Amino acid sequence: MADRPFDIVLFGATGFTGALTAEYLAANAPEGLRWALAGRNRAKLEAVRARLVGRWSDLELLSADISDVASVRAVAESARVVITTVGPYIKYGEPVVAACAEAGTDYVDLTGEPEFVDQMWLRYHQTAASSGARIVHSCGFDSIPYDLLALWTVERLPVDVPLALTGFVRAGGTFSGGTYHSAVENLGRLRSGMRVGRERRRAEGKPTGRQVHGVPGVPHRDPVAGGWVVPFPTIDPLTVLRSAAALERYGPDFSYSHYLVAKQLPVALGLIGGAGALVALAQVPVTRRLLLRVRNPGEGPSPEQRAKAWFKVRMLGEGGGQRLVTEVTGGDPGYGETSKMLSEAALCLAYDSLPATSGQVTPAVAMGSALIERLERAGIGFRVVSEGPS
């Protein structure tokens, strides 16, 4: 791996989040980082490079197209770590995962698409485990705040006892066209996603001698969250539970619930109704196409909008007679902080001393405390809100 010409290659830098990721890497690259941008349109790559601050006027640009397997393989074989922001991943993600798994190249993305993650595990986990590649999905706002805060919380609770965690998500901001398209595509494939999820669970099995399970929960007013909460069945609780299944530190019996927070009951009810309507509309091809016309890929919030955005994830942990409330906070969740998380995850894989893992693994399993330390230095705050006996 040390003989490869690049430490990191960023695939998809001409997209909205990809360009922000390139800007973050340019501004925060350690001395000696060997990195490059990859994509199919050289003129657009040159435009991204021209906007980068610092010493990057001669940053290498690699020609690669998702539809050209040989070009994607060449990118994977040239890098120690590949970042890809090219989505929806269910449409465009597989060639990069396949190439990295075969080449023994570490991989990070920002997908929130459960079907894609499960499908990639079924098809490439064993290949990556054999080659030594670490395939780490969901390294943005999906799912790093929840996955790492759960780990950070568990490490502050008693050892070898049943543990129960509940996560509460609150955020303010808007979303890009690419994120919107990925969400609609994901909702339109719920049946397929459920089938692939069942197939993965059968193949993966359960941890030996331990229990790990999700608790769906019900809408209610919660004093820890500071408002009304509704169950939030995204990819994030799945990621937390997979970390718990892989790491014995989560105890002999671990459970997790995941909620979205609203200050007032009408808002909570509106979230439930709106989500149900969106799911229903996404099932029908005609209405799904209409939904996709609402925003175009490549569009995104302005710098002013991003500057006002924020997120707060609070977690209640209980076990062994102890009760702990923790929190992780940051700025613009979808873009500013996502590009930060994605970049720091890639730098973590490239530079840090990490547990020996391979195959498709979660951020907590692959990077754990090392990535938490990086994010704290980068301005994402982890803190204990309260602690005491349960």
Regarding whether 360 and 290 lie in a shared domain, the answer is no
> Would you say residue 1 lies in a domain?
no
In angstroms, how far apart are the furthest CA atoms of the chain?
Answer: 60
The pLDDT tens digits of the residues spanning 78-133 come to 999 999 999 889 999 999 999 999 999 999 999 999 999 999 999 999 999 999 99
**Encoding tokens for residue 57?**
């006027």
pLDDT mean across residues, the chain: 91
- At residue 317, does pLDDT exceed 90? yes
Whether the full predicted model's pTM is greater than 0.95, yes or no, is no
Please state the domain count of the chain: 2
Regarding whether 353 and 325 lie in a shared domain, the answer is no
- The residue to which tokens 């692959």 are assigned: 366
Regarding whether 16 and 133 lie in a shared domain, the answer is yes
- At residue 249, does pLDDT exceed 80? yes
The pLDDT tens digits of the residues spanning 74-86 come to 999 999 999 999 9
Regarding whether 342 and 293 lie in a shared domain, the answer is no
**Greater pLDDT, 279 or 286:** 286
> Would you say residue 220 lies in a domain?
yes
Instruction: Give DSSP secondary structure letters for 309-323.
Output: -EEEEEEEEEETTEE
**Encoding tokens for residue 240?**
């937390």
- pLDDT for 297: 66
The CATH number given to whatever domain includes residue 114 is 3.40.50.720
**Greater pLDDT, 52 or 333:** 52
Residue 299 backbone dihedrals phi, psi, to 5 degrees = -80, 150
**What single DSSP character describes residue 248?**
G
Domain that holds residue 211: 144-333+380-389
pLDDT above 70: percentage of residues in the chain: 92
Regarding whether 234 and 342 lie in a shared domain, the answer is no
The pLDDT tens digits of the residues spanning 175-198 come to 656 666 667 777 777 789 999 999
List the one residue out of 169, 146, 334 whose CA is nearest residue 268: 169
- pLDDT for 23: 96
304: confidence class by pLDDT, cuts 50, 70, 90: confident
Regarding whether 342 and 315 lie in a shared domain, the answer is no
Regarding whether 289 and 350 lie in a shared domain, the answer is no
When computed from its CA atoms, the radius of gyration of the chain, rounded to whole angstroms, is 20
The DSSP H or E segment spanning 227 is: strand 227-231
Regarding whether 356 and 276 lie in a shared domain, the answer is no
The angle subtended at Cα 30 by Cα 26 and Cα 32, nearest 5°, is 100
